[in-house]
């Protein structure tokens, strides 16, 4: 971007997103200066979204911004962290209009207001490549309390929040491949990072991550780093009424599509069986359905089991970039 235009854009459009946060120094300095609460560790997550890969080139700029910030926040939720702020690095595509840039900033503003966040810094550039957004989220946890993937134990329950598969169907709607449904479309466009749940699971969950690649693939990540096997019951996977209807009515519809679709941004977590009552109470308190979907066992990998105990074939289990 031309110098004057870039600095003008930072001053008039991005600086207000700092919301006067002391760490941001009104985006006038070389770097942010962040003070964590006493006794806390900083949790940092970075994610890049590329047009045509992580969102559709046809998605409105507000949607790209909301998806970027919300999906990044989901990584903080998965660690049990409360968000402190974020850095935003944006490569605008060639020929981007002012209205389009404004729409993107409006999307960031809307998402950060929803979750009480401030922009602490970043960079903007433009280039010949696709529109690319890289966000770095900063959060904090009391020292030693971050939720990790590596500590699931055989005998633990496996739980998942919310419903699985809606965003996969929402993506199909965005592509014009499925009839419009506002609930499913919203689940794809504006995922809900489960920040309140993540914080409440500190000291309760033995392992946790957010479902971004697909339920089966992500369960596999816990299995791999914890050195255990996750056995999930197909009949227990929580589905929305819309997904259930799709499953019953759409030609060729399969549960496998929903459990390997990804972009759910629900939390998949493990917990000792004596935590069941506490977790059920927690779900009622925060108004979020928490469903026990299986058990951690000795062994390796993930099994999706049908009603008769037979293994269901899930292929690669989810999305991988290469």
Which residues lie near Mg ion (CB under 5 A)?
A: 75, 210, 212
CA distances from 166 to 51, 72, 96, 163, 258 (A): 21, 19, 31, 7, 7
Smallest distance, Mg ion to C-beta of residue 210, A: 4
Smallest distance, Mg ion to C-beta of residue 215, A: 13
Distance CA 46, CA 79 (A): 13
For the chain, the maximum distance between any two Cα atoms, rounded to a whole number of angstroms, is: 67
Smallest distance, Mg ion to C-beta of residue 224, A: 14
Tally of CA atoms within 13 A in the half-sphere of 36 that contains its CB: 16
Smallest distance, Mg ion to C-beta of residue 75, A: 4
Distance CA 214, CA 260 (A): 4
Distance CA 222, CA 29 (A): 40
Radius of gyration (C-alpha) of the chain in whole angstroms:
20
How far does the chain reach from its first CA to its final CA, in angstroms? 31
Q: What residue has token string 């197909």?
A: 234
Q: Which is nearer to Mg ion, 62 or 210 (CB)?
A: 210
Smallest distance, Mg ion to C-beta of residue 78, A: 5
User: Which residues are registered as beta bridge partners of 130?
Assistant: none
Q: Look up residue 57 and give its two tokens.
A: 């080139």
Smallest distance, Mg ion to C-beta of residue 213, A: 8
Smallest distance, Mg ion to C-beta of residue 292, A: 21
Q: Which is nearer to Mg ion, 14 or 45 (CB)?
A: 45
Q: Which is nearer to Mg ion, 47 or 166 (CB)?
A: 47
Q: Which is nearer to Mg ion, 232 or 268 (CB)?
A: 268
Q: Which is nearer to Mg ion, 156 or 218 (CB)?
A: 218
Q: Which is nearer to Mg ion, 82 or 181 (CB)?
A: 82
Distance CA 80, CA 75 (A): 9
H-assigned helices in the chain: 3-9, 61-78, 98-114, 166-174, 182-189, 195-200, 215-226, 241-249, 255-259, 276-286
């Amino acid at each position: 971007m031309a110098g004057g235009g870039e600095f003008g854009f930072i001053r008039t459009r991005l600086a207000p997103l700092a919301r006067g946060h002391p760490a941001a120094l009104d985006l006038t300095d070389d770097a942010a200066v962040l003070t964590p609460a006493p006794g806390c560790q900083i949790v940092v997550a970075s994610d890049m979204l590329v047009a045509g890969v992580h969102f559709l080139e046809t998605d409105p700029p507000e949607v790209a911004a909301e998806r970027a910030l919300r999906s990044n926040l989901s990584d903080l939720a998965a660690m049990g962290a409360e968000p402190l702020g974020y850095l935003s690095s944006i490569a605008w595509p060639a020929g981007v209009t002012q209205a389009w840039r404004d729409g993107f900033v409006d999307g960031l503003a809307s998402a950060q207001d929803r979750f009480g966040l401030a922009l602490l810094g970043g960079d903007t550039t433009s280039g010949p490549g696709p529109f690319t957004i890289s966000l770095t989220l900063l959060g904090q946890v009391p020292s030693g309390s971050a939720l990790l993937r590596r500590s699931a134990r055989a005998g633990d329950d496996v739980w998942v929040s919310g419903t699985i598969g809606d965003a996969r169907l929402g993506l199909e709607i965005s592509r014009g491949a499925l009839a419009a449904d506002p609930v499913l479309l919203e689940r794809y466009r504006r995922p809900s990072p489960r920040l309140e749940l993540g914080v409440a699971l500190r000291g309760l969950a033995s392992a946790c991550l957010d479902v971004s690649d697909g339920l089966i693939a992500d369960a596999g990540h816990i299995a791999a780093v914890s050195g255990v096997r996750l056995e999930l019951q197909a009949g227990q996977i929580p589905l929305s009424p819309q997904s259930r209807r799709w499953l019953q009515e759409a030609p060729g519809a399969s549960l496998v599509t929903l459990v390997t679709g990804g972009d759910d941004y629900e939390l998949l977590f493990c917990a000792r069986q004596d935590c069941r009552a506490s977790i059920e109470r927690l779900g009622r308190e925060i108004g979020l359905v928490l469903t026990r979907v299986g058990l951690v066992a000795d062994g390796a990998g993930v099994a999706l089991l049908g009603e008769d105990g037979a293994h269901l074939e899930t292929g690669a289990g989810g999305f991988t970039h290469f």
